[in-house]
C-alpha cells in the first residue's frame, strides 16, 4: 500500500521577485555610495584577479574535507586501508572481525580515509585570455573609475 505526501511550496510571482531585487538593489546602492572608495578598490582588485572569489569559495569548501581526512588519518584510516596497531584496527578486530558490513560508518570511514590530501595549485592564466575574463576586467575597472570619482 503506497502512501502519499503533501508538500506545500510557495512559488514567488514575477512581481515578488522584482520587489525583492529592488530592495536588494536599494540596500547595496546605499552601502556602495557610503563607502565608495572601499568599493572602488575592491573593483580594481577584481579587475586584475577575476577568479579570486571562486578560488576563495573552493578553498573554504575544502576545509571540512581536510579536517575529516586528517581526523581519520589520526584514528588509523590511511591510503592503504586500516593501519595496524591503530584505534581503527582495534575497533575492527573487536566489533567486526574480518567482515565489515557494506554501508556502515566503518566502511564509509575506510573509503574517506583513502582520499588523497588536497593540494591547491594557483593556475596562471594562459596567454590567450578568454573573452569573458576580458569583459569582466573592463566592467570591474569601469566600476572602479566610476566609484573613485563619485
Please name the helix (run of DSSP H) or strand (run of DSSP E) that holds residue 43, with its range, or none.
helix 36-48
Selected residue with higher pLDDT from 2 and 59: 59
pLDDT value, residue 50? 78
Range of the domain at 87: 37-117+130-148
Q: Which of 71, 75, 101 is nearest to 88 (CA)?
A: 75
* pLDDT tens, position by position, 109-150: 777 777 766 665 656 555 556 777 778 778 888 888 877 776
Does position 65 have pLDDT exceeding 70, yes or no?
yes
Q: Which residue in the block uniquely carries the three cell numbers 573609475? A: 145
pLDDT value, residue 77? 81
Please count the structural domains in the chain. 1
Q: 7: phi > 0 → left, psi -120 to 50 → alpha, else beta; which?
A: beta
In a domain, 13, yes or no: no
Q: Where are the beta strands (DSSP E) in 14-96?
A: 77-78, 81-82
Give Cα 113 to chain centroid, integer Å: 21
29-34 average pLDDT score: 84
Range with the poorest average pLDDT among 7-16, 20-29, 123-132: 123-132
**Are the C-beta atoms of residues 140 and 43 closer than 8 Å to each other?**
yes
pLDDT value, residue 15? 92
In a domain, 32, yes or no: no
In a domain, 74, yes or no: yes
Q: Which of 122, 119, 100, 120 is nearest to 111 (CA)?
A: 100
In a domain, 17, yes or no: no
In a domain, 65, yes or no: yes
In a domain, 72, yes or no: yes
* pLDDT tens, position by position, 73-122: 888 887 777 888 888 888 878 877 777 778 787 777 777 777 766 665 65
**For 100-107, which contacts have Cβ atoms below 8 Å and span 24 or more sequence positions?**
none
Amino acid at each position: 500500500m503506497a502512501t502519499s505526501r503533501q508538500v506545500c511550496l510557495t512559488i514567488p510571482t514575477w512581481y515578488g521577485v522584482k520587489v525583492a531585487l529592488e530592495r536588494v538593489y536599494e540596500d547595496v546602492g546605499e552601502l556602495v555610495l557610503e563607502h565608495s572608495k572601499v568599493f572602488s578598490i575592491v573593483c580594481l582588485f577584481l579587475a586584475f584577479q577575476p577568479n579570486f572569489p571562486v578560488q576563495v569559495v573552493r578553498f573554504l569548501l575544502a576545509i571540512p574535507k581536510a579536517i575529516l581526512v586528517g581526523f581519520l588519518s589520526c584514528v588509523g584510516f590511511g591510503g592503504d586501508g586500516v593501519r595496524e596497531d591503530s584505534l581503527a584496527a582495534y575497533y575492527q578486530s573487536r566489533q567486526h572481525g574480518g567482515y565489515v558490513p557494506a554501508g556502515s560508518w566503518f566502511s564509509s570511514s575506510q573509503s574517506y580515509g583513502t582520499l588523497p590530501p588536497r593540494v591547491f595549485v594557483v593556475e596562471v592564466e594562459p596567454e590567450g585570455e578568454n573573452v569573458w575574463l576580458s569583459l569582466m576586467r573592463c566592467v570591474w575597472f569601469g566600476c572602479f573609475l566610476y566609484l573613485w570619482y563619485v
